[in-house]
Amino acid sequence: MSSSCHPRLRAFAACLVLALSSGAAEAAVPIQGYRVMAVYPHDDQAYTEGLFYLHGLLYESTGIEGRSTIRKVRLKDGAVLKSQSIAPNLFGEGIVNWGGQIISLTWRSQVGFRWDLNSFARKATFHYPGEGWALTQDGQHLIMSDGTPSLRVLDPVTFREIRRIKVTADGQPVFNLNELEWVKGEILANIWQTNQIARIDPRTGAVKAWIDLTGIPETARPADADAVLNGIAYDQEHDRLFITGKNWPHLYEIRLTPPKGAAR
């Protein structure tokens, strides 16, 4: 998303940060932190919208009309090994891998694409109602965010909507669910324009914990309102979690620490 387009959402994000910081001691949803395990270069011109890790490589989508791409990226040095531009009138959004393809969304155009995972050749076009923000998958279905508190569970072949997951924290709906990743049976979701990632139970939609990434250097860049946390990738084979953000110069491998007050 472009922050200049959503003043109402900026206000919501500010309220969320305030609630998390001032009410942490009383909140029913626990807050947990992280340890940085490694730091890697990241293209600081990449307006990151989607991210996943597969077979030793990162796959990333970038946004902004005229600049939107999907990319294959080498982890160790951030080198872009392959890139495919999206039509200049489209704002690229989230991506996910499925069956030898990359499935990608666009923001407000209600159109998505299927690309060959290896060649990046476009294989098909599909349509959906509403906005497209992010995608992940659980091995059976695709899971899509659209900025609302509901995640769409989709058939990966037809893109037909099967059900919705209504995401809540302390019984309240959670807006601005952005980039998604399936990690150990949970959905991790960036909360747009905050330093928080929600750990979501896919069965109930309840937020099990907030991951607070305050302290990552790029989270303290008020001069660039668009350079927000956005991008989660998981290396299942080696149990590594990666995070980055829009126009960030670094990608971080992190390990989560227990929620405050939890037994170690």
pLDDT of residue 264: 42
**Res 1 pLDDT > 90:** no
pLDDT of residue 56: 95
Q: Give me 114's structure tokens.
A: 């299927």
**Res 37 pLDDT > 70:** yes
Range with the poorest average pLDDT among 55-69, 77-91, 209-223, 232-246: 209-223
Indicate the pTM of the whole model.
Answer: 0.88
**190-to-162, 219, 262 alpha-carbon distances in Å:** 23, 13, 23
Q: How many helices (H) and strands (E) does the chain have?
A: 1, 23
* Averaged pLDDT, 131-139: 97
Residue among 41, 50, 143, 67 at smallest CA distance from 59 = 50
Domains of the chain, earliest start first: 3-256 (2.120.10.30)
Residue among 92, 137, 95 at smallest CA distance from 115 = 95
Tens of pLDDT, residue by residue over 171-181, are 999 999 999 99
Q: Which residue has the tokens 């939890």?
A: 262
Q: Give me 72's structure tokens.
A: 């294959």
**Res 79 pLDDT > 60:** yes
Q: Return mean pLDDT, the chain.
A: 90
Structure confidence at residue 260 as a pLDDT band (50, 70, 90): confident
